[in-house]
Chain A
Amino acid sequence: MNADGFSLRYVQAGQGNQVVILESATWGLSKVRDELARNYCVTAIELPGFGLSATNTRTQSVQDLAGTAAKAVDQIVSEKITLIGTSFAANVAFWYPLQAPDKVECLILISPTAILPNEAQPASNRGERCLQMLAHPENLPDLATIDPAIWAKPATWAKEEELERRLNGGTHDVAVEARLGEVRCPTLVVFGANDKIVAPEAARVYRERIPNSNISFVYDSGHLIEAERPSALIKAIGEYVEHRETFIIGRENHLFNP
């Protein structure tokens, strides 16, 4: 599709309530969207400048990128949406309900990097960056096979990293911190319990300031939760999509012998 002057790729699958996933560096990690598509109409949009899209030199801010995403979504989804973003795309997703509060009825931020109490020293190369993103770097060989089309192209990474750097990704975003309290929709913020990119103190900032929010830690996972604990992530966000803030209520049946 064409939106806001960009040519964008997207995939759509499933039926039911609308779930939109903004994809940035995690394009290709499809487990979450495939699983959610069993019960919902899932639309995954590749943000301009990421994945296989052309180099993006025009977008000037994360807010601009959220605006582009909103224009794209408006073309293909007329209903209200549940919005999901991971890592840098979560930073983009954060701005969306502030710009279009009536469109987003539920927000899920996975490993967002906008709030960085202790800014991690960025790794100098791709290999080290991969290690930083995982609680268990021994999982790296598996991760590299998830989407060889993107993973194996250094130029793709360089393009994405340059765009993130230009939009201040990887640095603490005071504008986000100042406006957390304006997010009115139910919001789930998920972190890997062993995230080496974002310090654990970040989670509590979201919980303190977003009025209707929950934070969730995924045990034994680093920054890239979808790669390390996909089933745990899918369970948490799947139940949040279904039940929103009431996902805290236990619904599993433990009756052994009825």
Chain B
Amino acid sequence: MKASYLGAMGYSKRRDFPVIWPVPPAYDDPATSVRSYQEGITECEFAEEMGFEWISFSEHHYSGRIATGTPSVVAAAVAERCKKAKIAILGYLLPLNNPVRIAEELGILDNLTDGRLVIGFLRGTPNEDQTYGVNPAEGRGRLLEGMDLIIKALTEPQPFSWEGRYYQYRTVAVWPRPVQQPLPPVIVATRSDDSVRYAAEHRLGLGVSFLPVEEMAKITDKYHDWCEAAGWQPEPDQILYRGSIYLAETDKQAQEWFENLTRSKPAPAIAFRPTVAGAIDAARSGSQFDLRNVVAGSADGDIVGLSPSLSFVGGPDTVAKQIKAFHDRCGAGVVDLFFQQPSVEHRDVMKEIELFGKEVLPQIKEL
């Protein structure tokens, strides 16, 4: 089993970072931001040194918690420092983006990394539907068409036109072609049946994030069934689980940290409009949203990431056992780990990476 380090590049002042979304740019201190990216890149380098075989990036917007709105940019910077690890974009929020632009970035990244790129696609969380003004109701369709278009753009050797439902391009000719032919590894990060089926039918990998092991198993069971129906079985590297982690020297220390976290008050909330969150959910599901049912002027925020739900907490043996469960039950061959928890500063993240490399990786590597 392989370990992947999620290069979140989170804003360094994590203890009191707002948990609402979007975080106003006014909150950002440029000097802290610069330091945050430097520390984030250092963490990636150290993770590679400690045996992590993948470094991953994920597109998220308008917040410093995961400050990689343009993951290709950050991946390119890290790829210059990490020369062995796979560079995995897990992933792009396809409904928000121009698929041809994404294909171009992927082509360049696979060249810059000399064939170390792993591609990931996902729809994104509901709040992020606001980012570029895409209609939430179109998200699923845009994701499915975007994947088709990007794969075509990366594999078609002649210029072509694309007459889509959501996208129309009369000249697509991505340059450069990927180093990995015919296509770099692709992972579809999803929980929904249509995308899981898409991954199976197109012989692509599957990524699942933050679910308990039995919930993930329901998805991977379907995936395996649909892969078999399509006449193939995924390799271990094609099933990835992404989870949050807090690793301490002992279970007791980890438990104490976790209890402190749950007792701590969230950072100052900034008034936000719950109407927006409700309207997005309604738009995604195709249902009506009645604005009049929401109390005007509510100060409740759209709280993102407040719940301290961690996938892996404990000392090395416990965490190894927790990770192993995803391998044994779901067939996961790669575990992608988010270390930058609230209240965990850079120095402590580095300690966790070291501990993981020395105490956990040896226990899962041979799985």
Contacts and interface: CB of A to CB of B under 8 A. Distances in A.
Interface stretch (B164-172, B192-200, B318-326): B164-172
A219 B158 contact: no
SS class of chain B's interface: helix, strand, loop or mixed? mixed
Interface string A208-226: 1000001111111000000
Interface stretch (A48-56, A85-93, A229-237): A229-237
A240 B161 CA distance: 12
A216 B161 contact: yes
B268 interface: no
A219 B159 contact: no
B175 interface: no
B170 A217 contact: no
B79 to A, nearest CB: 31
A216 B149 CA distance: 12
B366 to A, nearest CB: 40
A166 interface: no
B345 to A, nearest CB: 45
Interface residues of B, number: 17
SS class of chain A's interface: helix, strand, loop or mixed? mixed
B148 A193 contact: yes
B249 interface: no
A134 interface: no
A198 to B, nearest CB: 14
B201 to A, nearest CB: 11
A232 B161 CA distance: 12
B354 interface: no
B171 A248 contact: yes
B156 interface: yes
A204 interface: yes
Given A203-B158, A204-B158, A208-B158, A219 B170 contact: no
Interface in A33-48: none
A220 B162 contact: no
Most chain B C-beta atoms within 10 Å of own C-beta, residue among A219, A229, A236, A249: A219
B171 A236 contact: no
Nearest to B164: A219
Nearest to B170: A248
Contacts of A220: 145, 164-165
B152 A207 contact: no
B308 interface: no
Contacts of A219: 145, 148-149, 162-165, 167
A247 interface: yes
B232 interface: no
Interface in A142-189: none
Contact of A217 (B157, B162, B165, B171): B162
A232 B171 contact: no
Nearest to B157: A204
A235 B145 CA distance: 18
A107 to B, nearest CB: 16
A235 B170 contact: no
Nearest to B166: A219
A250 interface: yes
A214 B156 CA distance: 13
Nearest to B160: A215
B159 A207 contact: yes
Interface string B125-164: 0000000000000000000010011001000111111111
Nearest to B145: A219
B170 A250 contact: yes
Most chain A C-beta atoms within 10 Å of own C-beta, residue among B149, B159, B161: B161
Interface of A: 193, 200, 203-204, 207-208, 214-220, 229, 232-233, 235-236, 247-250
Given A200-B152, A204-B156, A214-B160, 10 more contacts: A203-B156, A203-B158, A204-B157, A207-B159, A216-B163, A217-B161, A217-B162, A218-B163, A236-B161, A250-B170
